[in-house]
Every structure is written in structure tokens, then in C-alpha cells.
Amino acid sequence: MSHLSNPLATAEQLYKKASVNDLPAELQDSILFFTARLTQAAGVLLRLPQDVTAQANVLLFRYWLVDGLMQHEFSELSAATIYMTAKISASPRSLRSITNVYAYLTSPNSSLSTPNSNPPPDPESYYLSESTYITNRNRLLHIEGQLLNALGFNTHVALPHPLAITYLQALDVFAASRSQKGKSAGTEVGKRAIEYLNTALLSPQMLYLTHQPCALATTAVYLAARDKGVKLPDVEWWEVFDCEREELGFLAVAMGSLEGVVRREMERWGEGKAMITRADIRGEMEKMGTALGSGGAAEVEDEEAEMARLMDEKVAAQ
């Protein structure tokens, strides 16, 4: 069985995602990033264990490799995913709590907005009337069915977090620094590794869909130890954890690039933007001069042409 491994996205699915969604790549990235961040924030407010929140985010991205990005309102899809994931876990949450949390997080008072852009507190802006609650609830339940259908009812998600801790133990990082007084270096590295893994959940590169947990955990350990200046063996220790040097390198760059992704999104949508909606995306498309339903194809062709050119070059070089 598979407490250690995940189903992975196929090349076809990844290719299709680029072509089926008639959206420019950077807007797709925005949708993925903002929705994942919203799920994470909701998980915190719902006091869900992080493994449930993380699983919800993985399932959400998996869904988007089957159905289009614009099929459902992003925040509602996020809410339905977290509801379903919590339901089958040991910590279920009520639809009432979930709709309340999402109403708050998508309101102008949302804690996701930065303080300086926050309007004066206005609880009414996130109050849910009974009838709104029922409409929201029914929509979430509808999306739940669509989500499960798209996933073929496969809700299995293995997470790299416990692996990362095990790897650090295997590398003796905790034991070696325990004797020191004050902050333990090992604990610091462990915390940092978990931070990398949680941040990677927000990556529009969908790292959890393309790499197995062992590779993600190894990379997080590698980056965390580097950040904290803790030395790891000189040999190729990552091979012990079934991660190739090339994969480690790719993931290290991908995880390291998240900071840039966040900065880019903040520049595009403004610091105070708590969550984007489908309406925001349509507005942006109009600004770019491309209406939905056209545009995307040409871009894909270009990509394909470029890929062919790169391959030609590679062949020629050999």
C-alpha cells in the first residue's frame, strides 16, 4: 500500500491543462496560488490539523488537471475540497463553520489582506444570513460531487512532512545539536523544512502532483539545512532517500522560487488582495484584449514550436 507514494499527473494531463484552459499562463498561476493560499488560511481558522489542509490543497490541484479552472468559483471549490477532505479525516468540520470562515476570508475584512489596506472592521460584511447559508451549502455539496467524480473518488494523498522529520532523524540532525544550550539547531532545521513543504503547496508548478513525497521531503531537508547553516554529509546522501541529484536540483529551484511567485502576484493584484474571483480573471482578460474562448491556442502552438526547436538543437549538439 501507499502511505509513501501518490498518484502523479500524467504528461498528457499537464499538457492538456495548458491547452484546455483558454487562459494565459500567468493568470492560471494566479488562480492556483490564490486558491491554495485561501485553503491554507481557512485550514488555520478552522483549526484543522495541517495534514488535512495540505491534503485538501493537493486534491484541489488534482481536480484542476481534470476539469477547467473556470468551472467553479475558486473560493467555493476550495471550501468544498476542505469540507470533503475533513469529512473523511479524523477531524471533520461542519458546513456551517466552513461557510462562515470562507465568508470572512473573502470579505474586505479578511485577515489575508495586509493591515494597511484593511477597511475599518465591519462584521456585517461577512455575516451569513440563513438563506445565504443554505444557498452556499447547496453549492458546496454540488461541487463536492463534481470534485469526487473528477478524481475518480481517489482521495489518497501521502504527504512528505513526516518523511522530512524521519530523514532529519536518519541524518542525526536532532541528536547532534541536542547537547547545545538554547535553541536547538536540529529543531530549527526541522521547522524550516516543514515551512518549505507547506509553502510548496502553494506553488503554481503543482509540485505535489509531479513529484513523490520522498523527493519533496529530501529537497526540504536540503534547503532547510542550507538556510540554517547545518552541515550535511559530503556524499550524495539524497540517494539514500531515493531522490536523484537532478530531481533534487529541480525541486530546490522550484521551492526557492516561491518567494518570487508571491512577489509577482502581489505586484499584479496589489498587496491588499485577499482573494481573486472569476470576475477578476475575466476583467484581466479584457484588459489584455483577449476574450475567453480565444487566444490560448496560438500561445500553445508557440510553446510547441519552441519545444521542437530545443529538441532539434539537442540532437544537433550530440
Partner 1 sequence: MKSRWADDEEDAALEAQRKREKEEKKRLKAEKQRKADEAAAREREAAQAAAAAETQSQDAELSSRPAKRRKLSPEPREPVAEEEPRPAKLLRFPAPEWKKCRSVEDFEKLNDIEEGAYGWVSRAKDSITGKVVALKRLKMDNAQDGIPVTGLREIQTLMDCAHPNIVTLREVVVGEDTSKIENIFLVLDFLEHDLKTLLEDMNEPFLNSEVKTLLLQLTSGVSYLHDNWILHRDLKTSNLLLNNRGVLKIADFGMARYFGDPPPKMTQLVVTLWYRAPELLLGAERYGTAIDMWSVGCIFGELLTKEPLLQGKNEVDELSKIFELCGIPTEESWPGFKRLPNARSLRLPKNPVTQGSVLRAKFPFLTSAGSSLLVSLLELNPARRPTAKEVLEHPFFKEDPKPKSTEMFPTFPSKAGQEKRRRRGTPNAPVRGNVPEIKATDFSGIFAGREDEEKGGGFSLKLI
Cell of 195: 515551512
Cell of 35: 486558491
Would you say 47 or 287 has its CB closer to partner 1?
47
- Closest approach, Cβ 153 to partner 1, in A, equals 4
Q: Which of residues 129-148 bind partner 1 (CB under 8 A)?
A: 140-142, 144-146, 148
* Binding region for partner 1 (CB under 8 A) out of 7-15, 33-41, 269-277, 309-317: 7-15
Q: Which of residues 227-266 bind partner 1 (CB under 8 A)?
A: 228-234, 236, 239, 242-244
> Is residue 65 within 8 Å of residue 208, measured between CB atoms?
no
Would you say 226 or 282 has its CB closer to partner 1?
226
Exactly one of 27, 37, 39, 62 binds partner 1 (CB under 8 A); that residue is: 62
Q: Which of residues 264-283 bind partner 1 (CB under 8 A)?
A: none
> Is residue 85 within 8 Å of residue 59, measured between CB atoms?
yes
Cell of 89: 479525516
- Closest approach, Cβ 31 to partner 1, in A, equals 20
Site string for partner 1, 164-183 (x = CB under 8 A): -------xxx-xxx--x---
Q: Which of residues 65-104 bind partner 1 (CB under 8 A)?
A: 65-66, 83-84, 87-88, 90, 92, 95
Q: Which of residues 8-37 bind partner 1 (CB under 8 A)?
A: 8-10, 13
Tell me the residue type at 117. Answer: S
Round to whole Å and give the CA distance between 145 and 244. Answer: 38
Cα 85–Cα 156–Cα 216 angle in degrees, nearest 5: 100
Would you say 27 or 98 has its CB closer to partner 1?
98
How far CA 212 is from CA of 33, 165, 180, 216, 221, in Å, comes to: 20, 16, 34, 7, 15
Binding residue count for partner 1, defined by CB under 8 A: 61
Would you say 196 or 238 has its CB closer to partner 1?
238
Alpha helix segments (H runs only) across the chain:
11-20, 25-45, 50-64, 74-88, 95-105, 130-150, 161-170, 173-178, 185-200, 207-210, 213-227, 245-256, 258-269, 278-288, 296-317
Query: Cβ–Cβ contacts within 10 Å for residue 214, how many?
Result: 20
- Closest approach, Cβ 33 to partner 1, in A, equals 22
Would you say 144 or 265 has its CB closer to partner 1?
144
How far CA 204 is from CA of 58, 215, 234, in Å, comes to: 12, 18, 32
| Residue among 207, 196, 263, 269 at smallest CA distance from 61 | 207
- Closest approach, Cβ 312 to partner 1, in A, equals 28
Q: Is 314 in the site for partner 1 (CB under 8 A)?
A: no
> Which residues of the chain form contacts with partner 1 (CB under 8 A)?
1-10, 13, 62, 65-66, 83-84, 87-88, 90, 92, 95, 140-142, 144-146, 148-156, 171-173, 175-177, 180, 185-186, 188, 212, 214, 225, 228-234, 236, 239, 242-244
